[in-house]
Chain A
Amino acid sequence: MFSDFPLWPVPASSGAGNVDALFIFLLLLGGFVSLAIFVMIVMFAVKFRNRPGHQAEQIEGSVPLEVTWSVVPLAIFMVIFVWGAILYFRERTPPREADAVYVVAKQWMWKLEHEQGQKEINELHVPVGRDIKLIMTSQDVIHSFYVPAFRIKQDVLPGRYTTAWFHATRPGVYHLFCAEYCGTSHSGMIGQVVVLEPAQYQAWLSGGITFGSLAANGESLFQQLGCPTCHRFDIQGRGPNLAGIFGKPVQLEDGRTVLADENYIRESILSPNAKIVSGFKPIMPTFQGLVDEDQVTALVAYIKSLSRPPSGAAGPAKPAPGT
């Protein structure tokens, strides 16, 4: 029954060791401080216990001591803060060249889609040794994508994209949990992350059923919805030319500048009038209700692919598997 009784989670990502290091530091520090306090309490309790002939000695306090035990802890706290902030900064900034996996959470399952088009449910296959960026959204309530072995967790919100990233270092099968309470089967919204050696991963990629790459699906959707009528790949369109905009700043009509990231593209599809690009008219209709989360994901992937130089000319790209 108790076949497996771990006391420490497996570190399986490049970030896990760093988190563990700070955690161990804090354990040692916390252990030392608690021990010091316990020992003092016990020592005082024994040494100064009430007994005949023993009188308490009145001590008012001591300003130097108060200053010491305020300033020294504060200094230690600042060290912990900086250390923790550095780790967090790394956890929150995905490398530029990371492979994207799109995640759509719903009550109570994880839908994952690779750029190459592989779709998975409650299971994510990734190769060892590559940076993987997760672009996540929810169809209903707030969920949270949590892989303890990678020490990553990120809430997944409806109505916007949140991101997380990891770099798996050890092949194996790891838990994927939903960590934000989401209703009846919250505890059933679990899955696994399968980390494979690159060769195995290639085999897995070619073995699965694919529905065309995500960007390619996005492109056909782009055509179907009639987007190219306005968003032409020259300067004469009634809408902005979308080639190469991803990741670049966009000048808006009201003078602001925004970064064209996943959330911006998403918003421009669903609430086109929220941010009008400088020099254009707010004529685009909303696609809210006309496309579901998976389709928005495909469109976003397509528009991102338009900004990817290696796969050839400015035209719609077919990213090679494994980029």
Chain B
Amino acid sequence: MADSPPLAVEHDEGLHHQFVDREQQRNAASLGMWLFLGTEVMFFGGMFCAYLIYRYWYYKEFAAGSRSLDIWLGTTNTAVLICSSLTVALGVRAAQMGKRKLLVLLLLLTLVFGLGFLGIKGVEWYDKYVEHHIPGASFSAQDLIEQYPQLHIDPAPTQIYFSLYFAMTGLHALHMIVGVGIFCFLTYYAWRGRYTPQYHTPVEIGGLYWHFVDLIWIYLFPLLYLIDRKPLK
């Protein structure tokens, strides 16, 4: 993707040799990112498919596993990510208007929100570790069996719930980490003043990526946290 510095002599410097003009270059970059996001949808889609089937089969265990997640941390994280998407959107706007300082500030804020999300996620995972809810040899669903005797849950399907929980949130977190990396670069180059109203494609497509990762969470949150929160009889 385009990352040579644009200059006031807006002809050659920012334009890669294979493109005819800036317009073509920008269109190509943005189509490329959209296609990439399409592949990401399919990537997560495989897991959503597995989730769908097992949730249908093992509804009680999924409900019990879902209850064991901390809904307040989850909600906070959702809010944090939505705020980060807002700062990204405002950042793209700032880049379009050529407000360098505002852009840097908004990108930094985004980074703070992103890292905050990962921190909170880490706390949640640690809780799961303490509760022996990490799939594998040390996994135990005993606490849930005792806590929700009305549900009559089996340990094996409960482990499947947590397997999917960790696979989905883990891969989402991996995407967040990549996103944080991308935004570090963007912030650095924004600070250096590389992005101008004429040339800010990296901010735009980086923003697309961020919004996408945010959107994945918007799906993960209800699917994993809100399966059944009604008070039990």
| Chains A and B touch each other in the complex, with CB atoms below 8 Å apart | yes
Query: What A residues does B152 contact at CB under 8 A?
Result: 273, 276, 282
The proximity string for A residues 272-286 relative to B, scoring 1 for CB distances below 8 Å and 0 otherwise, is 011010000010001
Q: Tell me the smallest distance from the CB of A211 to a CB of chain B, in Å.
A: 32
The proximity string for B residues 61-93 relative to A, scoring 1 for CB distances below 8 Å and 0 otherwise, is 000000000000000000000000000000000
Q: Does B21 interact with chain A (Cβ within 8 Å)?
A: no
Q: How far is the CA of A137 from the CA of B153 in the complex (A)?
A: 25
Q: Tell me the smallest distance from the CB of A273 to a CB of chain B, in Å.
A: 4
Query: What B residues does A282 contact at CB under 8 A?
Result: 152
Query: What A residues does B60 contact at CB under 8 A?
Result: 273
Query: What B residues does A276 contact at CB under 8 A?
Result: 152
Whose C-beta in chain B lies nearest to the C-beta of A284?
Answer: B152
Q: Tell me the smallest distance from the CB of A271 to a CB of chain B, in Å.
A: 6
Query: What A residues does B154 contact at CB under 8 A?
Result: 271, 273-274, 286
The proximity string for B residues 124-156 relative to A, scoring 1 for CB distances below 8 Å and 0 otherwise, is 000000000000000000000000000011100
CB proximity to B under 8 Å, residues A223-276: 271, 273-274, 276
Q: Tell me the smallest distance from the CB of B54 to a CB of chain A, in Å.
A: 13
Q: Tell me the smallest distance from the CB of B149 to a CB of chain A, in Å.
A: 10
Q: How far is the CA of A286 from the CA of B60 in the complex (A)?
A: 16
Query: What A residues does B153 contact at CB under 8 A?
Result: 273
Query: What B residues does A274 contact at CB under 8 A?
Result: 154
Whose C-beta in chain B lies nearest to the C-beta of A282?
Answer: B152
Q: Tell me the smallest distance from the CB of A258 to a CB of chain B, in Å.
A: 13
Q: How far is the CA of A249 from the CA of B153 in the complex (A)?
A: 25
Q: Tell me the smallest distance from the CB of A165 to a CB of chain B, in Å.
A: 28
Whose C-beta in chain B lies nearest to the C-beta of A273?
Answer: B152
Q: Tell me the smallest distance from the CB of A282 to a CB of chain B, in Å.
A: 4
Q: Tell me the smallest distance from the CB of B109 to a CB of chain A, in Å.
A: 48
Q: Tell me the smallest distance from the CB of A313 to a CB of chain B, in Å.
A: 35
Q: How far is the CA of A273 from the CA of B153 in the complex (A)?
A: 8
The proximity string for B residues 28-66 relative to A, scoring 1 for CB distances below 8 Å and 0 otherwise, is 000000000000000000000000000000001000000
- 7 A-B pairs closest in CB distance: A273-B152, A282-B152, A271-B154, A273-B154, A286-B154, A274-B154, A273-B153
Seen from chain A, the residues whose Cβ lies within 8 Å of a Cβ on chain B are 271, 273-274, 276, 282, 286
Known: A273-B153, A276-B152. 7 other contacts (CB 8 A): A271-B154, A273-B60, A273-B152, A273-B154, A274-B154, A282-B152, A286-B154
Seen from chain B, the residues whose Cβ lies within 8 Å of a Cβ on chain A are 60, 152-154
